[in-house]
Amino acid sequence: MADKPTIHILGSGALGSLWATKLSRNNNVILLIKGSKLSTSNKTHQFQFIDQEQSTTLTFPCEPSVSSSESNPPIDILLVFTKSYDTLSAIQQLKNRISPSTRIVLFQNGMGSQQAIAQLLPQTSLYAASTTEGANRPDPQTVIYAGEGETWFGAISTAHSLDEPKKILSLLSSSGLKVFHTQNIWQKLWFKLAVNCAINPFTALLNCKNGELIGQPLFDTHITPLCHELSHAMKLNNIEASPAELQSIVEDVIKRTANNVSSMLQDVRATKQTEIEYINGYIESIAQQNNQYFPVNFSLLEKVKRLREDA
């Protein structure tokens, strides 16, 4: 037990719980939980993990997600699964436990939160990850592994040593999940962002599964002009992807995830805040910085924001 690496996980929603479960086979995993949920008598968090209809009860040790450096030592490895809009404040609250030797892997959807953390922690070795692993959390005590995917990660700040990415690869791979290292994680994040921009808002507006998008007039008439706008935004960030290539990637993801309720639609149905500001909102910020107008993206952004106001 003592010589196993210790990994802290911030954000124990569906994906955080999936990684906690898988990593706990070979590592000491500690969940960072909000103080209000962490009474002195209850320093553990328990949930049912369901994988191919097999249910296992898991219990994890917890520590408070608001740092008190006196009682808790610096964190060695931190995996962050918070929603993109919560990430900056969540990391700020943990700042006393982040030392220059802490290594952080950010798993946020969309874009914008990664840059905010890089600004907050210029001395820290930061990585971002893009994953297609699927998990749902129908209630706080149940996590369902919905579908195997793959995870790419790469440095978004200068790594502390040349072999550090190798160590992180081996650590993440000790989960048994498929993990790959890339020298250019921004490229992966941009393609994932484009896919999310082109699927998530439509599913939220049409209240349908990913596979039900094709054939709906709102989607069919806007997907091609939207892919032109996304391709343009990517080019402004030195990422080459033709509109036709993007559209074919989007259609492929729709087929592969036909049965998924997108993360944005899940949030809308649960009347939670969506990540729209970090998805289509990020594209709108690129448009504004470059004096461009991306009307389809803008209209999707505004319509999804209105869904919440109207709820």
In angstroms, what is the minimal distance from the CB of 10 to ligand KPL?
Answer: 19
When binding is defined by CB under 6 A, the residue of 113, 210, 247, 280 that contacts ligand KPL is: 210
When binding is defined by CB under 6 A, the residue of 200, 274, 280, 297 that contacts ligand KPL is: 200
Cα–Cα distance for residue pair 274/265, rounded to 1 Å: 8
With respect to ligand KPL, which residue has the nearer C-beta, 253 or 268? 253
Cα–Cα distance for residue pair 179/174, rounded to 1 Å: 9
Cα–Cα distance for residue pair 73/63, rounded to 1 Å: 11
In angstroms, what is the minimal distance from the CB of 282 to ligand KPL?
Answer: 14
In angstroms, what is the minimal distance from the CB of 5 to ligand KPL?
Answer: 28
x-or-dash string of contact with ligand KPL, 140-179, rule CB under 6 A: ----------------------------------------
Confirm or reject binding of residue 257 to ligand KPL (CB under 6 A).
yes
In angstroms, what is the minimal distance from the CB of 268 to ligand KPL?
Answer: 12
Q: Is the dihedral of CA 281, 282, 287, 293 positive or negative?
A: negative
Catalytic residue among 43, 167, 192, 235: 192
> Interhelix angle for 185-206 vs 295-310, to 10°?
60
Contact range with ligand KPL by CB under 6 A, out of 30-38, 82-90, 220-228, 259-267 = 259-267
Encoded tokens for 104: 């952080």
With respect to ligand KPL, which residue has the nearer C-beta, 30 or 249? 249
List strand residue ranges (DSSP E) for the chain, in order. 6-10, 28-33, 44-51, 54-64, 77-80, 103-106, 125-131, 134-139, 142-147, 151-155, 179-181
Cα–Cα distance for residue pair 8/31, rounded to 1 Å: 6
**Active site annotation includes 37:** no
Confirm or reject binding of residue 129 to ligand KPL (CB under 6 A).
no
Considering only residues 92-121, where is the footprint of ligand KPL by CB under 6 A?
A: 109
Confirm or reject binding of residue 136 to ligand KPL (CB under 6 A).
no
Confirm or reject binding of residue 195 to ligand KPL (CB under 6 A).
yes
What letters, b where the CB count within 10 A reaches 16 and e where it falls short, cover 188-220?
bbbbbbbbbbbbbbbbbbeebbbebbeeeeebe
Nearest-CA neighbor of 196 among 301, 270, 116, 306? 301
Confirm or reject binding of residue 247 to ligand KPL (CB under 6 A).
no
Q: What ranges in 94-178 are assigned the alpha helix state H?
A: 113-120, 164-173
Encoded tokens for 145: 């592994």
Quick one: three-class SS letters along 13-49? Answer: CHHHHHHHHHHCCCCEEEEEECHHHCCCCCCEEEEEE
In angstroms, what is the minimal distance from the CB of 206 to ligand KPL?
Answer: 13
Confirm or reject binding of residue 253 to ligand KPL (CB under 6 A).
yes
Cα–Cα distance for residue pair 90/10, rounded to 1 Å: 8
Number of chain positions touching ligand KPL (CB under 6 A): 11
x-or-dash string of contact with ligand KPL, 260-299, rule CB under 6 A: x-xx------------------------------------
Encoded tokens for 143: 């996590």
Confirm or reject binding of residue 196 to ligand KPL (CB under 6 A).
yes
Binding site for ligand KPL (CB under 6 A): 109, 195-196, 199-200, 210, 253, 257, 260, 262-263
Provide the annotated active-site residues. Answer: 192
